[in-house]
Structure 1
């Protein structure tokens, strides 16, 4: 899929928002991609996941044994990508503030894992999920996401394959440009705190 085709999927789902948004990282932005909306349609989710699976080089793809995603946002993206790859999908969650593998999910020692996110902004969540996967015995050998909005700066410590790079600068709350500061901020993501 081309970038225009991917953005068309987001637009068709009313998932490309413009305004003033507070991201889950705490940074502010003028654009927001609501991956939950684009994944509401299973056929659209399957198309995007299939396109994403083709971006992962065969030498990495052939080694992946399981897909793990961070809850909440990455679950559907991870499930759809696991389906495209013919693998099992699991997720880590934060019942007490730190990611952990629960619900009877298990990774064999050294099991090769693909970490899948919906959106990567700073990479902090991804790195925390990678740590939890390692603590559960798995080895993350690559990461993928529907959207990389880090402007290419997120370092996850493993090869990273985003379907779309959205190069919209994020801002600290105390360094907003005047046109963004003039608009009331919304927090559309899953983490309200």
Structure 2
């Protein structure tokens, strides 16, 4: 079961750090959310997986995202979905093709034409998810939804919506009493 307060408590305890950080987007920040500290924790992954299942569009065929951050999330969602007798599929998107075999960017049992959701731990500007979306669309899937554990509220959500994707997050940075900077 999903419990928002418990997920917030786990993030506070395990993943929220204060200091001087450079994010994947290149932005400087006074705090950092290390989502893997929660998604690689048994209870944390269970909370995230059930929360995402609660928000997942029922017409979605598969969930996936940019490897390595999405790897535990995808596995957790599939496990939670199996408990509900769902035949939901998963996929992972490589940052670079492996250079041998099929040279695919998208790995997993997905097929062109499927409706998919992209999953992410933390969204700032949306760059990683946008790259995953691009690769999945090139593969031939239709991206319908983007789900994030936490929205830092720095422009990513708006970018997804402007591009026509349904975006939902389980938490926002405001849930931690942090005021987001002006989104750029």
TM-score (norm 1): 0.74
1:160 equivalent among 164, 167, 170: 167
1:71 equivalent among 63, 67, 70: 67
CA contact 1:115–1:130 (8 Å) conserved in 2: yes
The answer as to 2:128 corresponding to 1:125 is: yes
Aligned residue in 2 for 1:9: 10
Distance, in Å, in 1 between the alignment partners of 2:143 and 2:183 is 30
Q: CA deviation at 1:123?
A: 1.1
Bigger share in helix? 2
CA contact 1:78–1:117 (8 Å) conserved in 2: no
Distance, in Å, in 2 between the alignment partners of 1:28 and 1:3 is 28
Calculate the aligned-residue CA RMSD, in Å. 2.5
Q: CA deviation at 1:106?
A: 4.5
Flag structure 1 segments of 5+ consecutive residues without an equivalent: 173-193
Distance, in Å, in 2 between the alignment partners of 1:171 and 1:107 is 34
TM-score (norm 2): 0.78
3-state SS of paired residue (2:25): coil
Aligned residue in 2 for 1:181: none
2:181 equivalent among 150, 169, 174: 169
Judged with a 3 Å threshold, the aligned counterparts in structure 2 of structure 1 residues 136 and 165 are, in CA distance, closer, same or farther, namely same
3-state SS of paired residue (2:122): strand
Q: CA deviation at 1:122?
A: 0.4
Judged with a 3 Å threshold, the aligned counterparts in structure 2 of structure 1 residues 170 and 125 are, in CA distance, closer, same or farther, namely farther
Distance, in Å, in 2 between the alignment partners of 1:22 and 1:139 is 32
Higher RCO (CA < 8 A, seq sep 6+): 1
Structure 1 runs of 4+ aligned residues shifted over 6 Å read none
The answer as to 2:32 corresponding to 1:20 is: no
The answer as to 2:102 corresponding to 1:101 is: no
The answer as to 2:139 corresponding to 1:144 is: no
* Count of residue pairs brought into register by the alignment: 164
